[in-house]
Amino acid sequence: METTTTMLSADVLVVGFGKGGKTAAHALTDAGRRVILVEQSENMYGGTCPNVGCVPTKMLVHYSNARRPEDDAQGFFQHSVAGVRELTSAFRAGNFSSLDGKDTATVITGAAHFLDPHTVAVGEGTDRITVTAPTILINTGSEPVVPAIAGLAASPHLVSSTELTQTSNLPERLVVIGGGYLGLEFASIYRHFGTDVTVLEAADRLLPREDEDVAGAVTQILTGDGIRVITGAVVSEVRDTGAVSSVVYEKDGRTHTVEASALLPATGRRAVTSQLRLDAAGVKTAANGSIVVDEHLRTSRPHIFALGDVNGGPQFTYISLDDARIVLDQLLGEGTRTTTDRVAVPHTLFITPPLATVGLTETQARSKGLDFTVARENVADIVAMPRAHTVEETRGLMKFVVDARTDLILGAALLSIDAQEIINTVALAVRHGITATELRNSIYTHPSSTEALNEVFDKVLPR
């Protein structure tokens, strides 16, 4: 069969339909640039977040918490997944049409790889397309890593986080390897749906980067929900025994096993670069496969930028969005914005209730030799927060680390209903030098979770 090649050119080529890439593509087309965006899969228009990441997982959090004891677990789960599919399909279609519908933008679906520093080929063999552009943005994201555990990769019960957001069958027994953000979110979701869940964490406690009291409160909530949390557990082997897998792990010098009908490794993600043939473009990568960039997100080829998870930075959608701002400032603005401008970036672990953090922990502040105070109160004891009682979720705590000299907030850990929203107010305060006293004395709507700030800053712990 004769091979035909279609040759296209653009002002900007975007490889990957993630948050950063699509945001930049929209802004560039609005500025009059001719943009071609290449996405490997029609199921990933819009990137990880709306398809297999943030949107479906948080929707599953919502559905799982709505399940009543009398609801049939399998039927309720299937109904929930159908709702997720409907929403993600709508988002996917909207992402495609909103960009491809523009006069100066084209979306091409297919696997891309570099031919030279300015040219990318899409597809192989028959009907291959080549795209040439003076400016290229790489936004191919990241993918789950399967750790090198004997028998794991070949296990028929191995599932990825992507597969768990798409399956219609509720697993009877889920074993999660790794107690990080992703692992704990899925553990919480599936436990609330009715699955028997075990988390195997190699460290001696969950969330070792958080203060012990915060991590302990998280562990108490998870175990209180019926999740079996085993810390200090090093998985050594997976043995398949038909309907289930036996997960073998070592703890305290002894060998143990736990059965799993679904096995989720949640031990990290890696940049999707292996098929891009970056060597043909002269783009340097780190040992872990991520693309090396400077503070302006330029690669070793100054006309090629890398945005989002693929550049080895923090793996969050909102960081990818900020990456787009940096790149757009290079291409359309004054070129002064950099990654070093990021201050007080918040994070949220979407268990129930969520844990949201920003800035320094108490442990970090102490290790830096800072003079600080700690304000902390259990949610159940916060009189100024009736919302927690009205929605029947009083578990958790609020904790702030405050500079004793300046009254500025050094950090916060909020384990509470609406923590994912409150933390944005706190982060804004940190960035703009708003003191703890100002937050305490501010006027908030009632009943809201934010008004807890009126009280918690008075609960200073003795040093």
Output the CA–CA distances (angstroms, integers) from residue 419 to 18, 352, 379, in the order listed: 26, 10, 11
The label of the residue with tokens 């800053």 reads 457
For the chain, what's the residue count?
Answer: 463
- DSSP string across 295-328: TT-B-SSTTEEE-GGGGTS---HHHHHHHHHHHH
356 alpha-carbon distance from chain centroid: 13
Sheet containing 245-251, strands listed edge to edge, beginning at the edge strand earlier in sequence? 234-240, 245-251, 254-260
Q: In terms of DSSP bridges, do strands 12-15 and 135-138 run parallel, antiparallel, or are they unpaired?
A: parallel
The label of the residue with tokens 């398809």 reads 51
**Residues with Cβ within 8 Å of residue 253, at least 6 apart in sequence:** none
Positive or negative torsion for Cα 381, 387, 390, 391: negative
192 is catalytic: no
270 alpha-carbon distance from chain centroid: 13
Q: Choosing from 113, 118, 256, 446, which is the catalytic residue?
A: 446
Burial class of residue 174, CB neighbours in 10 A (0-12, 13-18, 19+):
buried
Structure tokens at 61: 């959090």
User: What are the catalytic residues?
Assistant: 446
